[in-house]
Structure 1
Amino acid sequence: MRRGSGAVLDATAVSLPGGVFTMGSDTHYPEEAPAHPVRVDGFSIDATTVTNRQFAAFVRDTRYVTVAERAPDPADYPDADPANLVPGSLVFTQTPGPVDLRHLSQWWTWTAGACWSAPEGPGSSVKRRPDHPVVQVALEDCEAYAAWVGAALPTEAEWEYAARGGLDGAAYTWGDEARPDGRIMANTWDGPDFPWRSTRESGFVGTAPVGSFPPNGYGLFDMAGNVWEWTADWWVSRHPDAAEKPCCVPTNPRGGPVEASYDPAQPQFRIGRRVVKGGSHLCAHTYCLRYRPAARRPQMVDTGTSHLGFRCVRRTPSGGGTHE
């Protein structure tokens, strides 16, 4: 694997021994609290997110059709105009000027025809982006790919343990400074003017080829920025309190039940939400400081976006775990 050039053609897996680490943060967003010790068993994890090249090989071999390429079932949307129930997905749209950052709908557009091979909709293509992370993949798509390669999605605890790279409690995957010695360490939004103007300081607007930025201490690339990453855990709005006794540290914890993950703002939709991690190229220091290992957000399982991808893990049989 070559670092910095983006020419990462085949994912390699990094074996991690497992251990105890501090999961979460008490100093950033409320959903990351409380920081608490967690133990994970050993596992291996892809050094990069799954790329367009790799996902294309999966599609060719299996003839798989992603969620974004399927027309929604009218039975799931009884109040919708059938003419609007066509394949598509959510695409980031840069705004012409400053906007109210409380309203995400100003820079996200549901786009007919947007899918993994046309991430921005009709007219776009991944042909010149083979080594960029695949995006516009819903949970079902990621799990199908993982099964094809004999792997799985990481739990939130596994993902965060891997992202920290051995730096327990550090703010970022590389340490506590956002830009050590002025270096740009991840593909995030350049400048303070999200979502309308980027300084292009990093050299990228949108996704970057995997491996374009330095790896963390475990040799894993893009555990911060570039694209958010799916995990195997159902969303819960906060972490559990730390165990009172060292012997009670949870091992291989999992999120809550699917029912607890439903969006309370949309009670008409009983659609589960999984935890996504890592932030993306749309995270700005002044708006969304979530390109950190503790950061976490909920994502509806039936929805992909133009800044959401995944990577896989492989585990040795070791029994179950405990629920957070």
Structure 2
Amino acid sequence: MVIGPKLEWLRWIGATACLAAICCASRAADAPPGMVWIPGGEFVMGGDDPLARPDESPRHRVRVRGFWMDATEVTNAQFRAFVEATAYVTVAERPVDWDLLKLQLPEGTPKPSDEMLQPGSLVFTPPDHAVDTSDFSQWWSWVHGASWRHPEGPGSTIDGREDHPVVHVAFEDALAYCAWAGKRLPTEAEWEFAARGGLDGKVNVWGDAPIDARRANTWQGEFPAVNTAEDGFAGAAPVKRFPPNGYGLYDTAGNVWEWCSDLFRPDTYARRLLEIGREGTADNPTGPRKSLDPRNPYAPESRVQRGGSFLCHDSYCASYRPSARMGTTPDSAASHVGFRCASDAPAPEHNDPVTQENQP
């Protein structure tokens, strides 16, 4: 019987559980509901492992100040409370604004029919056969009526999924929720520092061991046609179904992509290193002043998303790693995109990780 991997797994579970318990006991009364105190510090930002993409380099030292972070991605229940309190209408629930959309398209692109401009969002629709993974249009469909209330389109519902992360939220929607909750989106540097959970320089949020179905909600099988769902979920999972990281944060690997406040550029790190020098440290960086995204050359702006999603698979998208980053137009909403909040609420008396049970 091979017991080595099992023992390693049990040791890791035990260690993270102990750290989380210590954090909970350490002045939990100081924690805003559902948030974790991230004590701040220095770390090496970026990645150079075999799965890393060019925009994750060069690695460089970064210092972040202490801040609060949601222990989980914002849930359907939390977002519903916001909508009921404010009557907010998300981007996916509004007709598409052609004047804004055409700015992201080549000049002279003809206006689509009014029917095509009706409210909707991108929904993952897996093909029934192997496809060329360089063409994402083969598994994404624009579905009229898809929104946070109807994740798969008309006829679908979030009833019974109150503890799932809210999806189909554009950047503007995430900002609106944060403002209502008295919070903000994390910067890209804050997000990566928090996601690493104190494991500086490691490939994954749990260390250097490769991903498996027990650690995070990602794709198992052959992407995008065959999902064996070995982790128990074919789509987004309820929050807290996988072990937390060293700071007590859940689902910083996989489940749904999370918006950050930074503008996106593939050369952000190279430009930053020129500013600070190889021996320097960037102090609480907030991203570039202007975005640039070669994949969306006509888009006036692109924002950072982090964490990967339930669609990540090493053959196509290894973005569950804490250094992975993606640029997306701020009006984009999809069935694998959500967010979590940060806060500048007063620090606890002691600058140690502090957490409190999440409250929807």
What SS does structure 1 have at the residue aligned with 2:179? helix
Aligned residues: 303
Q: State the identity %.
A: 51
Return the alpha-carbon distance in structure 1 between the equivalents of residues 194 and 114 of structure 2: 44
Structure 2: which 5+ residue stretches go unaligned? 1-16, 18-31, 103-109, 348-360
What SS does structure 1 have at the residue aligned with 2:266? coil
Structure 1: which 5+ residue stretches go unaligned? 4-9, 319-324
**2:187 is aligned with 1:155:** yes
Q: Specify which structure has the bigger relative contact order, considering alpha-carbon pairs within 8 angstroms and separated by 6 or more residues.
A: 2
**2:277 is aligned with 1:244:** yes
Return the alpha-carbon distance in structure 2 between the equivalents of residues 116 and 99 of structure 1: 28
The match for 2:223 is: 194
Return the alpha-carbon distance in structure 1 between the equivalents of residues 321 and 33 of structure 2: 22
Cα distance change, pair 220–269 in 1 and its aligned pair in 2 (3 A): closer
Could you say which structure has the higher helix fraction? Answer: 2
CA-CA distance at 1:265 after TM superposition = 4.9
The match for 2:323 is: 294
Residue type of the alignment partner of 1:188: T
Cα distance change, pair 268–223 in 1 and its aligned pair in 2 (3 A): closer
CA-CA distance at 1:268 after TM superposition = 4.2
Cα distance change, pair 11–103 in 1 and its aligned pair in 2 (3 A): farther
The match for 1:6 is: none
TM-score between the two structures when normalised by the length of structure 2: 0.80
Q: Deviations over 1:55-106 (max 9, x none)?
A: 0000001000000000022333462222321000000011101000110000
Cα distance change, pair 11–283 in 1 and its aligned pair in 2 (3 A): farther
Return the alpha-carbon distance in structure 2 between the equivalents of residues 267 and 287 of structure 1: 22
Select the residue among 126, 131, 136 that pairs with 2:163. Answer: 131
Matches within 5 A, 1:170-185: 170-179=202-211, 184-185=214-215
- RMSD across aligned C-alpha pairs, in angstroms? 1.9
The match for 2:147 is: 115
Paired residues of 1:74 and 1:82 also in contact (CA < 8 A): no
Return the alpha-carbon distance in structure 2 between the equivalents of residues 267 and 79 of structure 1: 19
**2:307 is aligned with 1:273:** no
Return the alpha-carbon distance in structure 2 between the equivalents of residues 20 and 301 of structure 1: 29
Deviates more, 1:18-27 or 1:155-164: 18-27
Q: Deviations over 1:172-194 (max 9, x none)?
A: 00000124xx6620000012x00
Cα distance change, pair 183–207 in 1 and its aligned pair in 2 (3 A): closer
Select the residue among 46, 49, 60 that pairs with 1:24. Answer: 46
CA-CA distance at 1:36 after TM superposition = 0.5
Residue type of the alignment partner of 1:60: E
CA-CA distance at 1:311 after TM superposition = 0.3
Residue type of the alignment partner of 1:202: D
Q: Deviations over 1:104-162 (max 9, x none)?
A: 00000011000001011111111111000000000110000001110000000000000
Query: Greater CA radius of gyration, 1 or 2?
Result: 2
Return the alpha-carbon distance in structure 1 between the equivalents of residues 98 and 281 of structure 2: 46
Return the alpha-carbon distance in structure 2 between the equivalents of residues 304 and 59 of structure 1: 17
The match for 2:241 is: 212
CA-CA distance at 1:241 after TM superposition = 2.2
Cα distance change, pair 95–57 in 1 and its aligned pair in 2 (3 A): same
CA-CA distance at 1:266 after TM superposition = 4.6
Matches within 5 A, 1:219-230: 219-230=248-259
Residue type of the alignment partner of 1:25: G
TM-score between the two structures when normalised by the length of structure 1: 0.89
Deviates more, 1:82-91 or 1:70-79: 70-79
What SS does structure 2 have at the residue aligned with 1:231? strand
